[in-house]
Structure 1
């Protein structure tokens, strides 16, 4: 099945095939390492989240965008994530 590309005002997004939810949630964290391994279940988040390969339109930077239903989860991820 072909991946659907999502374009927002800020990003061109490519959903991860491992996403349970393919929704762009309100709270987001851009990870500038496009090849970093991000295992969302290991963060034990309280709300829903989704992961996308991302192309930031403002500066052409590639990376990953993690979006969160809850702001507290976005803060937790930003605090705990360490690129490999």
Structure 2
């Protein structure tokens, strides 16, 4: 999976080799810091998650995209994430 690129309507995504799932989940959080340490398990998600290096097609901004199976996990991540 590490060598696969996924293109959606909004992003060109490069999956993290740490992903356990091969899905782009519905609830997404774009982190506009491509080099920030993003560790989804440290936010104690109740559902599944995936992490991608991301290129936002709309404006060419690079960053990371964290996708969550559950909306409350995405909300918790958004409220607690602080880039290093």
Q: TM-score, normalised by structure 1?
A: 0.96
Moved more, 50-59 or 17-26: 17-26
What are the residue-to-residue correspondences of 1:56-71 with 2, within 5 Å?
56-71=56-71
The Cα of 1:40 is off from its aligned counterpart by 1.2
What are the residue-to-residue correspondences of 1:1-80 with 2, within 5 Å?
3-80=3-80
8 Å CA contact 2:50–2:66 kept in 1: the answer is: yes
Q: Distance in 2 between matches of 1:27 and 1:2?
A: 22
Q: Distance in 2 between matches of 1:4 and 1:58?
A: 21
Unmatched runs of 5 consecutive residues or more in structure 2: none
Q: TM-score, normalised by structure 2?
A: 0.96
Q: Distance in 1 between matches of 2:13 and 2:78?
A: 19
Unmatched runs of 5 consecutive residues or more in structure 1: none
CA RMSD of aligned residues (A): 1.1
